[in-house]
Amino acid sequence: MVSVEDNFPWPKNIVILGSTGSIGQSTLDVVRQFPDKFKIIGLAAGKNLSLLLHQIKEFNPPFVCVRSAQDAKELSWMLSGEKLRPKILWDDEGYCEIASLPEAHMVVSALVGAAGLIPTVHAIRAGKDIALANKETLVIAGDLVVAEVDRTGVRLLPVDSEHNAIFQAMEGHRRVHVKRILLTASGGPFFKLTREELAKVTPEQALKHPNWSMGKKITVDSATLMNKGLELIEAHWLFRLPPEMITIYIHPESIIHSMVEYVDGSIIAHLAVPDMRIPIAYALSYPDRLPLRVPVLNLFEIGHLTFFPPDEEKFPCLRLAKEVCRKKGTLPIVLNAANEIAVDAFLAGRIGFLDIPEVIEYIMSEHERMNGNISASDFDTVLQVDSWARRETSEYIVRRQSNMS
């Protein structure tokens, strides 16, 4: 049978935003396995210049991007003994330029946090297909982003394993027949702890995810269940279903990556070993499938799979994310920004694990009290609300600390 993509002029030109992160490195591993299929034409990193240098030497991209003019100077110096001479871009403008390169066919959006929004929007506006890992893009500006996707007709292909699973389980089926999405969650490392035990957990413990190896922010989000809340909002925008049609199942084995239930009682699930290269490869090659070298799923070895309902009292971040998904307006921006600041403060030992939802809830209530929950009609407003919430959260954490000392 002839595939839709047989006429595609392989290799596909790829730009990775966040190449030095966990998703970025897994994406490069997929590219490494299929050099005839993919060509790296742009790598955008943050501060990890030594890893970026290795990546430049291996993949020889014509464009790279770093965070500041100073970092660009340093990278240029690091490359001075090399034959390779990529054009080095920097700062917000650089990320947007690399995301819109005329030669690019696809942009992998894998920066972490709200920093991913504007470069991803530039890529969409430039007509690039998006492999979306940066869930915060949809969390904080879902309506605006979806409108840009509709206007430009680009493909928004989910990389998050759950959304990639749902996307696969919906392929070939009619949306009107979907009864609900069953979004699975590992439950993180603290799923079985009591609230008293949760009060004492350390950043080191929170960074030890039982099944997945990921960046620090998403690993802490998995432990608080905020990650699942953000994913619920992401699923709401990606699949255009109301939050009431998305049910969360704690599934500690992380083998079923999510399921879709249809009106006739059928449930279609996607199963695979927990390895991000699988959803990444599917997004990169869609609608083809690549003979990926990854560990094979052995169900005899696994034996049985378990499922539990989430406990929103023990993990209030999930309740807060559901609330903002229902209320919409600017609250999701505030939730996300407050969470980013609170997670950083937890990792720095400045607040405890249970303070994370408490801080977020306080900033959400302050936002409703002071600003009201009007909706953001453009991306500038999204960024303004994001800055407000970051500032308020940082100041609140400082006030809490000084009250305690």
Ligand X SMILES: NC(=O)c1ccc[n+]([C@@H]2O[C@H](COP(=O)([O-])OP(=O)(O)OC[C@H]3O[C@@H](n4cnc5c(N)ncnc54)[C@H](OP(=O)(O)O)[C@@H]3O)[C@@H](O)[C@H]2O)c1
94 is a site residue for ligand X (CB under 6 A): no
For tokens 């965070």, name the residue. 67
* Residue whose CB is less far from ligand X, 24 or 188: 24
Among 42, 61, 215, 357, binds ligand X (CB under 6 A): 215
- Regarding 277 and contact with ligand X (CB under 6 A), the answer is no
Q: How far is the CB of 202 from ligand X (least distance, A)?
A: 19
The CA distance from 50 to 35, in Å, is 23
Distance CA 309, CA 164 (A): 22
Kindly tell me which of 53 and 268 has the beta carbon lying closer to ligand X. Answer: 53
Is the separation of the CB atoms in 230 and 321 below 8 Å? yes
Q: Does 110 bind ligand X (CB under 6 A)?
A: yes
148 contacts ligand X (rule: CB under 6 A): no
**What distances in angstroms separate CA 213 from CA 66, 190, 256, 348, 399, one per listed residue?**
24, 16, 17, 20, 34
**What Rg, from alpha-carbon coordinates, does the chain have?**
21
Cβ of residue 48: shortest distance to ligand X, in angstroms? 3
99/250 with CB nearer ligand X? 99
Output the furthest CA–CA distance in the chain (Å, rounded).
Answer: 70
Residue 240 binding ligand X, by CB under 6 A:
no
Pairing of strands 12-17, 38-44: parallel
Task: Please state whether the peptide bond connecting residue 287 to the residue before it is cis, i.e. omega within 30 degrees of 0.
Answer: yes
Minimum distance, C-beta of residue 394 to ligand X, in the bound complex (Å): 15
CB of 1 to ligand X, least distance (A): 31
- Which residue in 75, 218, 220, 324 binds ligand X (CB under 6 A)? 218
Stretch near ligand X under the rule CB under 6 A, chosen from 12-20, 99-107, 182-190, 306-314: 12-20
Give the CA-trace dihedral at 158, 162, 165, 167, to 10 degrees: -40
Q: Is 114 in the site for ligand X (CB under 6 A)?
A: no
The encoded tokens of residue 96 equal 């947007």
Report the residue number whose CB is nearest to ligand X: 21
21 class by beta-carbon count within 10 Å (0-12 exposed, 13-18 middle, 19+ buried):
buried
By CB under 6 A, is residue 257 in contact with ligand X? no
Give me the least distance between CB of 266 and ligand X, in Å please.
27
Return d(Cα 233, Cα 246) in angstroms, integer: 10
Q: Report the number of secondary-structure helices (H) and strands (E) in the chain.
A: 17, 11
Q: Smallest distance from the beta carbon of 151 to ligand X, in angstroms?
A: 24
CB-nearer residue toward ligand X: 48 or 373: 48
- 8 A C-beta contact, residue 157 and residue 130: yes
- Residue 129 binding ligand X, by CB under 6 A: no
Amino acid at 237: W
Sketch the per residue contact string, 27 through 66, with ligand X: x for CB under 6 A, - otherwise: ------------------xxxx------------------
Phi and psi at residue 333, to the nearest 5°: -65, -45
Task: Write each residue from 153 to 172 as x if it is in contact with ligand X (CB under 6 A), else as -, in one continuous string.
Answer: -------x------------
Stretch that binds ligand X, among 15-23, 175-183, 319-327, 356-364 (CB under 6 A): 15-23
Q: Binding-site residue total for ligand X (CB under 6 A)?
A: 28
Q: H/E element holding 260?
A: strand 256-262
- 261 in contact with ligand X (CB under 6 A): no
Contacts for 335 with CB less than 8 Å, ≥ 6 apart = 139, 320, 321, 324, 360, 364
What does the DSSP 8-state code read for residue 115?
Answer: G
Site for ligand X in 165-204 (CB under 6 A): none
Binding status of residue 134 toward ligand X by CB under 6 A:
yes
In the complex, minimum distance from the CB of residue 14 to ligand X, in angstroms, rounded to a whole number: 15
Closer residue to ligand X, CB minimum distance, 115 or 366: 115
The residue among 217 and 390 lying less far from ligand X, judged by its C-beta, is 217
Q: Is 235 helix (H, G, I), strand (E, B) or coil?
A: helix
Residues that bind ligand X (CB under 6 A): 18-24, 45-48, 67, 110-112, 115, 133-136, 160, 212, 214-218, 276
